[in-house]
């Protein structure tokens, strides 16, 4: 059974979102997603400063099985990327909710971010998506 931490929000595209500041979130892929991908061999991250639209493909994860797009869970600016994934893409497999994070997004305001996060899936809702 894949791990689904209760303190995160989720998308139907198998990304997780963790609030790290009033108007900033960290984004990664779920344990379920990494298990479906197989061994991750390369990660293409967005550029810092990029303005992302909600549901826009802004990163790619390449595994031994396929290449998968990673979508922005909300409209915001990319303010940080996990540079360590260039040398160690397998962190997506070994620690998807920790060291395997992908990028951070900064929203215009905390209140708008509250609304957006409220529209994402909670752990139980995500379990429903993956059939858990």
In a domain, 59, yes or no: yes
CA angle 100, 101, 105 (to 5 degrees): 170
The model's pTM is 0.96
Residue 4 falls inside a structural domain: no
What is the count of structural domains for the chain?
1
Which DSSP helix (H) or strand (E) runs through 91? helix 91-94
Mean pLDDT of 40-50: 97
* Residues 87-106, mean pLDDT to the nearest whole number: 97
Q: Is residue 88 part of a domain?
A: yes
Write out the residue range of the structural domain in which residue 67 sits.
9-130
Residue 116 domain-assigned (yes or no): yes
Q: What is the pLDDT of residues 56-89, one digit of tens each?
A: 999 999 999 999 999 999 999 999 999 999 999 9
Q: Is residue 3 in some structural domain? A: no
> Residue 29: which CATH number?
2.40.50.100
């Amino acid at each position: 059974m894949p791990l689904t931490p209760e303190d995160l929000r989720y998308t139907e595209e198998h990304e997780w979102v963790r609030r790290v500041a009033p108007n900033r979130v960290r984004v990664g892929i779920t344990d379920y997603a990494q298990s479906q991908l197989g061994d991750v061999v390369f990660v293409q991250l967005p550029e810092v400063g990029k303005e992302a639209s909600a549901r826009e493909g802004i990163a790619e994860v390449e595994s031994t099985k396929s290449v998968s797009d990673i979508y922005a869970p909300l409209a915001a600016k990319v303010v940080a990327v996990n540079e360590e994934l260039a040398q160690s893409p397998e962190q997506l497999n070994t620690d998807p909710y920790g060291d395997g994070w992908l990028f951070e997004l900064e929203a215009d305001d905390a209140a708008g971010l509250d609304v957006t996060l409220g529209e994402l899936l909670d752990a139980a809702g995500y379990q429903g998506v993956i059939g858990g």
